[in-house]
Each structure stands twice: as structure tokens, then as C-alpha cells.
Amino acid sequence: MLETSVRLLRLLSLLQQRREWSGAELAQRLEVTTRTVRNDVDRLRQLGYQVDSATGPTGGYRLGAGAALPPLVLDDEEAVAVAVGLRAAAAGSVSGIEDASLRALTRLECTLPKRLRPRVDALRSATVSAAGGGPAVDATVLTTVAGAAHNHERLRFEYEGFDGTASARDVEPHTLVYTGRRWYLLAWDTDRRDWRTFRADRLRPILPTGPRFVPREPPGGDAAAHVLRGVRSVPWTYRVRIRFAAPAAAVAERSTPTSGEVIPLDEHTCELVTRSDSLRDLTAYLNGFDLPYTVLEPPALIEHLRALAARYQAATSPGSG
């Protein structure tokens, strides 16, 4: 019985890893016969899992959507990734699911092995310090886009460009990339016959999704690197230079790949060269470093901070209320 239970868990894990498996492939992975695979699939169905099968000599199996969500089998890496993602969502990086994320996170951490907790805590610290300052994205948008990319299905959506111009797009979605401030979709634009990067907070999916497609190799073979190169080339309203009274390593570990360039000056000081469209967002971002700094440029940011300082001073002066 124990051997059968272990095999069922391995089978369930395989079905969750890929869209479809043949009976022969599953039998080879589990080191059993195809007849045993069929029997194990029937056992999973009795436990409430929706496993769809195709007829034929080899047979094909895939995990379908049932009436209720069955338990998921996660390996160590997946459990850590889910825990960190839920903590980021609970903190508000994805709008509309903060409470649900917190409830799910509470359940997960009750069963999380002790050996994984240090890894989750370390990754959480990096995620929290990197987030903030970017627009929140509706959770439905992210799940719709991610589902289309995962299933290799064409996606249509309405998109608002940088200049406010609206357009209708038909794409082959490849990857969602989170830079620590914004979500981006890398996709093959079927009308323009080229790769395009879209901000997720500016797109509105049109359902249902389209036909399936054969995924293409992303530019340079690295979707995230391509998106980051494009993000760094976008024009911004303010070019910013900040001098920190802290080592470059301390500033770099609190920044993100798209935050800008950290330039060491000596062992105790460095400069951060970055850019922004909003002085308010930039102020919140700099305060998140919790390190002493001096603004070198632009003058608009210096005046903005002086005005804030005067306001805070007035708020704490005797008789100000």
C-alpha cells in the first residue's frame, strides 16, 4: 500500500508538470507497465482528480479542471517560489488578492518544512525591498496572460501606449517578467511580425483566447534579459543622481535590475544613477533604502524634498495643530 501511495504522488507530480503525457512516457518515468498507469489514473479519479485521457494504442493523459481544487504536490523549489510569491502578493504588488494571498500563505507556512524557512525568509527580504513604486496589476489580467502563455494560446488585448494611444493587439504571449517595479509581457506581435514588450498594467485581455501556436525562441534566448534591455532604453522625465553614504554593495542589494546603475566612489560612498516619471514615487523609493543620501540632480527633486521637509517640520512644531 505504501508503494502504491508513493507512486500515486509521483504520478500526480508528473501530471502537474506538463500539459499532456502519453501512457508510455508515464510508464517509463514510474518504471511500471502502461496497465499499472491506467489503474493508478483510475485511483486518482476516485480521489477527486480530473484526469482526461485520449484513446489509442499509447493513450494520453492530462490533468483537467474538476469541480473542486484538489491538493497540489510541490517539490522544495516550487514550495519556496509559491511562499515568496504569496508574500509579495499579500504586500500589495498584485491588486485585489492581498487578503486571499495572506490566507493561502498562512496555510502553506503551517506545513512548510523547517529546512525551507530560511530560504523563504531570505528571498522574502529581497522581494520586499525590491518592490514598491510601480503600478499594481489586476490579478485577473496576470492569470489570463500567464495562462495563455503557458498553454501557447494566442492572446488579444486592448493596449494603452506610452503616449496614451489605444490599440488592439493580437500576440503569441511568451513570458511575463517582473522587474521589481512593473510587470511586462514579452510576446510575438502577429501584425507587426516582431517581438514586442507590453506593460501588463496597460493591457486589457479580450476573451476567449485564440488558437494554439508553436512557441518561438525569444531574442537572444533570454526573455528576461531582452525585457530589461528594452526597459532601460525607455525615455523618462527625470534623470536622477543620488550619492549614498554607504558602500555600493549595500545600495545594490536594495535595488532592482531596472533601478539604475550603482557606481562605487570609495569604500564608504557610491552613486546611484536612475530615472523616474514621478517625484513622489521616486521619494518613496529612495526612502525605502533606509540609508543616508544626498540628491545631486535633478533640481526638481531637491525642491520637492525641501517642500516635504518644511511640511514635516511644520507638522511637528509646537502649536502646529
Where would I find the beta strands (DSSP E) of 55-207? Answer: 60-63, 94-95, 137-138, 155-160, 166-178, 183-189, 194-199, 203-206
Q: How much is the average pLDDT of 26-32? A: 90
Q: What are phi and psi of 151, to 5 degrees?
A: -90, 0
pLDDT of residue 2: 42
Q: Is the pLDDT of residue 246 over 70?
A: yes
For the segment 111-150, what is each residue's pLDDT rounded down to a tens digit?
Answer: 778 888 787 776 665 544 334 445 677 777 887 888 898 8
Cα–Cα dist 208/104, whole Å: 28
| Tally of CB atoms within 10 A around 78 | 14
Percentage of the chain exceeding pLDDT 90: 28
For the segment 170-197, what is each residue's pLDDT rounded down to a tens digit?
Answer: 999 999 887 766 789 999 999 999 999 9
Query: Which three-class secondary structure string do you get for 232-273?
Result: HHCCCCEEEEEEECCCHHHHHCCCCCCCCEEEECCCCCEEEE
Per the structure block, which three cell numbers stand in for 11?
504520478
* CA 115 to chain centroid: 24
- The residue whose grid cell reads 506581435 is 189
pLDDT tier, 1 (very low <50, low <70, confident <90, very high otherwise): very low
Q: Is the pLDDT of residue 80 over 60?
A: yes
Considering 42-46, 174-178, 211-215, 259-263, the range whose residues carry the highest mean pLDDT is 211-215
Q: Is the pLDDT of residue 242 over 80?
A: yes
pTM equals 0.51
